[in-house]
Structure 1
Amino acid sequence: MTDQARPVLVTHSGKFHCDEVFAYAVLRLALGLRDPSRDHTLLRTRKPAAIEAGDIVFDVGGVHDEATDRFDHHQRGAPLRPDGTPFSSAGLVWRRFGEQAVRAVLPEADAGKAAAIAADLDESMVRTIDEIDNGVGQDGPRRRDSLGLASLIGDFNPSWDDPAATGETAGDAAFIEASALAEAVLRRKIAAMRARLAAEAEVLAAHAAGDDPRLLVLERGMPWKNVVLAHDLPVLLAVSPASNGNWMLDTVPPEPGSFAQKLPLPAEWGGLPEGELRALTGVPDAVFAHLRRFVAAARTRQGAIAMARLALRNA
């Protein structure tokens, strides 16, 4: 890229699609570009001379060359993923700038997570954009989802009878609006993955520090079930604080999404009134046990742990 005060980013004019809109959002994050009227120029064109003069060119131009910041995928010999899936401009830009974009969003303390998050997003999100743009998928073309990102971005295009649909700058303002949506989605995805990785680290540390590998005690509420299942931990019950001030006792499902439990809570607890539950368990601050025996609660951490130990003793 040339050393310009305002780099010129070029993509094609006319109707836009998710891949170049997403690619533009990635470039803006990675390069710290915020306002196309002040710190960079976005040019949507199909004029060869203008494309050739661009600093970064994506989804147009017939060239893929990372060394010169060219990221098109429509030409013969365009790059493929290792499994043969064709890239779109989103995948090509992500391969070059994705980790940099993720790092720009993360707090400095979490910068070390950027590579893992970028790889996860490539597989879970960017690949899907590539497949939709190229009309391919693992089982044939993907079914169009009217609430999917590609469809939502497509809806930003001016309608056929909108005056903004004609002229040299047709769709330019709508493209910027669509890129704001893409950037917002990407930022939320990065934030969610950062939180998931942080929870994974805390869950593993808490389990390692526990005195019974069947019982997981967490000092903060966080997603933990997928961590337990993914790492095949021998956890049967988990204790953690709830937002209402109680401490929850949760069971572990045998697989993600299941409503079954590896170890249901004792049958005699299910659905008991608070007073009877306290009398039966001997836990003075027991609050409730669900009729389906997958969750219970106490007022304090100690009470929830006491209920957990009773349930494990009865197992």
Structure 2
Amino acid sequence: MKLGTHSQTFHADDVYATVFLLHVYNDAEIVRSREEDVLKSCDIVYDVGRGKYDHHSRDKMYRENGIPYAASGLIWRDFGKQIIKNAGIQEADVIETIAREIDEEMVQPLDAIDNGIEIEKSLPILDIASVVRLMNPAWDAEDSEDEAFQKAVSITNVIFSEYLNKKLAGYRAVPIVKRAFETREMSQLLVLPKGCPWEKTLLRLDQKKEVLFVITPRKNGQFTIQSVPPQSGSFAKRKPFPDDWGGLEGKQLESVTGVPGSVFCHTGLWLAVAASLDGAIQLAKLAIDA
């Protein structure tokens, strides 16, 4: 299998498209060229050549939400579900959901940037597209662009693989969160038997917005209490911890709360830690009643 993309300066679009394809054809040869005869020898050509996986023509394809496809999005559209299936997921509805979420969270921003659409940022941030762009050789360097591209693909492959693994791990946690939600003793408090991703599942299940805090065990034997956000990814809180807890730890926090084994409360009032499950429940109940 030969995969063909353009030579010279690379961007996150062609690098991520390469990574996606390597998750399907892991022993493929990567050919970087702008020569038509060279690209004709490739099985799949993307981000160049004006073919199926090039988005540089006037009749480019758009998603229903108006975000145009770039090469990474076109490749993900056609190969994303196979990648997820290769990772061990077999349920068609779960594959469909994960593929859509990855497109929304990772691929659409990449496509937007490559198509010249401004991504709104409240603060400057070195995003994944910027990281890939930095890997191009400096203007006065004599480094090989092809070697730099291979390095970018290797690093990006690690990023995407970890991202995909965490996404799949979230779905493996769904039954754990669902059972804890259905069997909870207090409507405002969710206690999980193990630390796992809970936010998206809980927000989907908790239609009445009853749960205010979630308790999870930590690997060191302590327990974390987190305030539930109103929506996924938000820094807001359905209910914060009391103001006078913020930034306190150890004996200071114990003195204010009256709970032995109180370990820490974040200044942002969204997270607290206790040495035992009983202590965590006591802290959560105090915060609920405050």
Tell me the TM-score normalized by structure 1.
0.73
Alpha-carbon spacing, 1:180–1:199, altered in 2? closer, same or farther (3 Å): same
- Superposition deviation, residue 83 in structure 1: 3.1
Alpha-carbon spacing, 1:162–1:260, altered in 2? closer, same or farther (3 Å): same
1:257 pairs, out of 232, 235, 240, with: 235
How far apart, CA to CA, are the structure 1 residues paired with 2:255 and 2:202? Answer: 32
Check conservation: 1:266, 1:311, Cα contact below 8 A. no
Q: Give, in whole Å, the separation in 2 of the partners of 1:191 and 1:72.
A: 28
Cα shift readout 1:43-65 (whole Å, capped 9, x = no counterpart): 2122222222321111111122x
- The answer on 1:75 being equivalent to 2:57 is yes
The answer to whether the Cα contact below 8 Å between 1:79 and 1:87 also exists between their aligned partners in 2 is: yes
Given the alignment of the two structures, is residue 195 of structure 1 paired with residue 169 of structure 2, yes or no? yes
**Corresponding residue of 2:134:** 155
2-structure distance, mates of 1:253, 1:24: 36
Q: What's the counterpart of residue 56 of structure 1?
A: 44
Aligned length: 279
CA deviation after TM superposition for structure 1 residue 76, in Å: 3.2
Amino acid at match of 1:58: Y
Q: Which has the larger radius of gyration?
A: 1
Q: What is the alpha-carbon distance in structure 2 between the residues aligned to residue 213 and residue 100 of structure 1?
A: 40
Amino acid at match of 1:95: R
Q: Is 1:41 the equivalent of 2:20? A: no
Q: Which amino acid aligns with 2:3?
A: L
Q: Residue 14 and residue 143 in structure 1: after superposition, are their counterparts in 2 closer, same or farther (change >3 A)?
A: farther
Q: Is the Cα contact below 8 Å between 1:253 and 1:260 reproduced in 2? A: yes
Structure 2 distance, partners of 1:46, 1:297, is: 57
**2:196 matched to which residue of 1?**
222
Aligned residue in 2 for 1:19: 13
Aligned to 1:133: 114
Q: Partners of 1:144 and 1:52 in 2: how far apart? A: 44
Segments of structure 2 that go 5 or more residues without pairing to the other structure are none
- Deviation readout 1:24-57 (Å, 9 max, x if unpaired): 1110112232xxxxxx322212222222232111
Structure 1 residues 92-171: aligned runs within 5 Å: 92-104=74-86, 106=87, 108=88, 110-112=89-91, 113-137=94-118, 147-164=126-143, 171=145
Change in CA separation of 1:239 and 1:149 when aligned onto 2, cut-off 3 Å: closer
Which SS does the other structure have where 1:30 is aligned? coil
Question: Percent same amino acid among aligned pairs?
Answer: 30
Equivalent of 2:3 in 6, 9, 31: 9
Quote the Cα distance in structure 2 between the aligned partners of 1:194 and 1:89.
24
One-letter amino acid of the counterpart of residue 166, structure 2: A
- 1:253 and 1:262 in contact (8 A); partners too: no
Aligned equivalents of 1:56, 1:28: Cα separation in 2:
12
Q: What whole-Å deviation, never above 9, does each CA across 1:244-269 have from its counterpart, x for those lacking one?
A: 323344544556313672675999xx
1:10 aligned counterpart, secondary structure: strand
Deviates most, 118-127 or 287-296:
287-296
Q: What is the identity, as a one-letter code, of the residue corresponding to 1:212?
A: M
1:186 is the counterpart of 2:167: no
Q: CA RMSD in A?
A: 3.6
In 2, the alpha carbon distance for the partners of 1:249 and 1:98 equals: 36
CA distance in structure 1 between the partners assigned to 2:285 and 2:58 by the alignment = 65
CA contact (8 A) 2:2 2:30 kept: yes
The 5 A counterparts of 1:231-250 are 231-232=206-207, 233-250=209-226
Q: How far has the Cα of 1:121 moved from its partner?
A: 1.3
Relative to 1, partners in 2 of residues 1:250 and 1:59: Cα closer, same or farther, differing over 3 Å? closer
Between stretches 155-164 and 18-27, larger displacement belongs to 155-164
The amino acid that maps onto 1:28 is L
**Paired residue type of 1:215:** L
Could you tell me how far 1:209 is from its partner in structure 2? Answer: 1.7
1: CA distance between counterparts of 2:165 and 2:46? 26
